[in-house]
Structure 1
Amino acid sequence: MDPFEARDAYVFDYRMHEGSAMKVSHHFAGHTGMPVAIQTWVIEPGGFEGFHRHEGQAALQEFYQVLEGQATMRVGEREYELGPGDSILADAGVDHDLRNTGTDALRVLVVWGPPGDADFSAFGSHQLAQRARAGGVA
């Protein structure tokens, strides 16, 4: 498989969780060698993912990062306003929904897979990230 994929090279229309139609790129069609799916979604103004949760045998953790546009995301009982560069996690079993609240298309990077942990403690970038989160100097 070619290790390069151009933006929107394999985009398709999709509607998930009874939400609005959106454009989806499922990067490398899931053949990354990692236990996650990596997707880019493009949701038009007023569009939404659809309120849902992933639990039981289909339990998934989901990471969202806004690349372009403005959004509101409900996770559990809380609602968050998101803009370019903002990230949010939806834990397995927690209700969530993403909505485009801007006037332009919303482009979001979404990474999802089964819940679990990985040990990245040997990597310097991980160590610095932990220090930054603890309020220490990075």
Structure 2
Amino acid sequence: MEPFEARDQFAFDYRMHEGSAMRVSHHFAGHTGMPVAIQTWVIAPGGFEGFHRHDGEGALQEFYQVLEGQARMRLGARTYDLGPGDSVIADAGVDHDLRNTGGTDLRVLTIWGPPGAADFSAFGSHQLAQQVRGAHSK
């Protein structure tokens, strides 16, 4: 498999969780060597993912990052308005939905897979990230 994919090279139309149709790029078709799926979704104005959750044997955690556009994310009892660069984690078992609230296409990076943890503590960028988060929580 080639180690490069151009933007939208292998995109396809797809409807998730009884939401509206969206354009999906499932990067490298899941052949990244990592236990996650990495996708880019393009959702038209007014479009939405569909309110859902992943629990039980199919439990998944999902990371969302807005690349372009404006969105609203329902996550359990909370709602977040998102713009470019904003990120959200939907934990397994938590109801959630993503909706395009802007007037242009919403482009979102999603990474999803089974819940779990990895130890990145040996990496300097991880160590600094922990320090920065600690400084913001004081």
Please name the residue that 1:38 is paired with: 38
Superposed displacement of residue 55, structure 1: 0.2
Deviations 1:66-97 (A, max 9, x none): 00000000000000000000000000000000
Deviations 1:3-61 (A, max 9, x none): 00000000000000000000000000000000000000000000000000000010000
Please name the residue that 1:56 is paired with: 56
In 1, Cα distance between equivalents of 2:73 and 2:48: 9
In 2, Cα distance between equivalents of 1:89 and 1:81: 14
Q: 5 Å matches for 1:61-72? A: 61-72=61-72
In 1, Cα distance between equivalents of 2:64 and 2:93: 16
In 2, Cα distance between equivalents of 1:124 and 1:56: 35
DSSP 3-state at the match of 1:128: helix
Q: Runs of 5+ in structure 1 lacking a partner?
A: none
Q: Runs of 5+ in structure 2 lacking a partner?
A: none
Q: How many residues matched?
A: 136
CA RMSD of superposed structures (Å): 0.6
In 2, Cα distance between equivalents of 1:56 and 1:123: 33
TM-score (ref. length: structure 2): 0.98
Please name the residue that 1:123 is paired with: 123
Q: Which segments of structure 1 move beyond 4 Å, counting only runs of 4 or more?
A: none
Deviations 1:77-120 (A, max 9, x none): 00000000000000000000000000000000000000000000
Q: 5 Å matches for 1:77-96? A: 77-96=77-96
Check if 1:5 corresponds to 2:5. Answer: yes
Please name the residue that 2:103 is paired with: 103
Give the residue type in structure 2 aligned to 1:94.
V
TM-score (ref. length: structure 1): 0.98
In 2, Cα distance between equivalents of 1:3 and 1:57: 32
DSSP 3-state at the match of 1:118: coil
